[in-house]
Homo-oligomer: A and B are copies of this chain.
Amino acid sequence: MTYRIDCLQYANWSEKIFRQMREGGVDAVHVTIAYHENFRETVLNIEAWNRWFEQFPDLIFQGRTGDDVRLARETGRTAIFFGFQNPSPIEDDIGLVEIVHTLGARFMQLSYNNQSLLATGCYEAEDPGLTRMGREVIEEMNRVGLVVDMSHSADRSTLEAIEHSTRPIAITHANPAQWAPARRNKSDAVIRALTESGGMIGFSLYPHHLKDKSACTLHSFCEMVARTAEKFGSSSLGIGSDLCQDHPDSVVDWMRMGRWTKRVDYGEGSAAAPGFPDMPDWFRDNRDFGNLETGLRTVGFDPEEVAGIMGENWLQFFDLSFGTVRKTQAHWAAE
């Protein structure tokens, strides 16, 4: 069986979901452990994960390197990699970049919809690009092996991050805007700059990022992947499902509004449909990764390309991205 890696989920974690990961043959998941949390709050979220690791050692363990994905496969478990959707966990302190990496963080978005201390989010009217601190933090992230993720960032900031980063970056969960116009989906210019620099994009299954939303068909989704591969090659493509499972709607309020506003903000939703959207029936949860694999074969990918998109492309990216420059990457050490 090919490796299966999901490069973004945010669930109301439970034994049920960890068992579904095993049923779906999912070797590794990048889990969001912070939306708007500050450092101390993020540490509390890590503590909660530590208790799950202690409680369910036969189902999950904390992933830190690409080899942990291989260990997960060998031992029949799922490796859990931590990530942040916002740089709020590092507050205004560049020293926290190394601290959170030591605690296991492997992806950090530079902005989440709004302006952050580092970069601009995709819902702002103006995007002045990377901030002074943003440039410093990207260099520190490059040094320690914390991946820059621009999923919720605006275009100029994203292009500047690709340019400024000396290591490939990621858009862990988004789709091409040409297929499904949405503020969160990405222009061809962004996807081109990303993939040409060795970066990765993870295709999202979150209905607001899909053509026809919850009614999107598996065929339409897989055709979109095929068209993207035609334009940009298949080696930079993966899955980042954005699966938000078993949460009450209060959680989507937290994701959208954090503590930055007192008003209701519907984000990608609307007053008529304010809650979490229904997932498409061919991707309800972790058990449905086989459907994606079948769908990709049907639209003409060969087995190697399917294996790449389902997990091996992310695995290769993990291998190159999570170590310090000095220790694991001879070609960077030359700098």
Residues of A within 8 A of B (CB): 39-40, 43-44, 46-48, 50-51, 93, 95-96, 98-99, 102-104
Is there an interface contact between A96 and B50, defined as CB atoms closer than 8 Å? no
Instruction: Tell me the interface secondary structure of chain A in the complex.
Output: helix
Identify which of B43, B93, B95, B103 contacts A39 (C-beta below 8 A).
Answer: B43
B102 x A47 contact (CB < 8 A): no
Contact B40 A95 (CB under 8 A): no
Q: Can you give 10 contacting A-B residue pairs, CB < 8 Å?
A: A39-B40, A39-B43, A40-B40, A46-B99, A47-B96, A50-B95, A50-B98, A51-B95, A102-B103, A103-B103
Instruction: Chain B residues near A48: list those with CB within 8 A.
Output: 95
Q: Report how far A7 CA is from B47 CA in the complex, Å.
A: 29
A98 contact from B47, B93, B95, B102, Cβ within 8 A: B47
Which of B47, B95, B96 contacts A93 (CB under 8 A)? B47
Do the beta carbons of A99 and B95 come within 8 Å of each other?
Answer: no
Our pick among B43, B93, B96, B98 for the contact of A99 (Cβ within 8 Å) is: B43
CB of A99 within 8 A of CB of B40, answer no
Interchain nearest-CB distance for A107 vs B (Å): 18
Q: Give bound CA distance, A211 to B48, whole Å.
A: 49
**Assembly stoichiometry (copies):** 2
Instruction: Return chain B residues, CB-CB under 8 Å to A102.
Output: 102-104
Max chain B CB contacts within 10 Å: which of A43, A48, A103, A104?
A43
Contact B95 A47 (CB under 8 A): yes
The chain B residue sitting closest to A99, CB to CB, is B43
Q: Which residues of B contact A40 (CB under 8 A)?
A: 39-40
Q: A48-B95, A50-B99, A102-B102 are in contact. List 20 more A-B contacts (CB 8 A).
A: A39-B40, A39-B43, A40-B40, A43-B96, A43-B99, A44-B93, A44-B95, A46-B99, A47-B93, A47-B95, A47-B96, A47-B98, A47-B99, A50-B95, A50-B98, A51-B95, A99-B103, A102-B103, A102-B104, A103-B103
Give complex CA distance A40, B42 in Å. Answer: 12
A98–B49 Cα gap in the complex (Å)? Answer: 11
Q: How far is the CA of A123 from the CA of B51 in the complex (A)?
A: 36
Q: How many Å lie between the Cα of A40 and that of B99 in the bound state?
A: 11
In the assembled complex, how far is the CB of residue A333 from the closest CB belonging to chain B, in whole angstroms? 12
Closest B residue to A57 by beta carbon equals B326
Which residues of chain B are near A50, meaning CB under 8 Å? 95, 98-99
CA distance A103 to B99 in the complex (A): 7
A96 and B40 CA atoms in complex are apart in Å by: 10
In the assembled complex, the Cα of A147 lies from the Cα of B98 at a distance in Å of: 24
Could you say which residues of chain B place their CB within 8 Å of the CB of A98? 47, 50
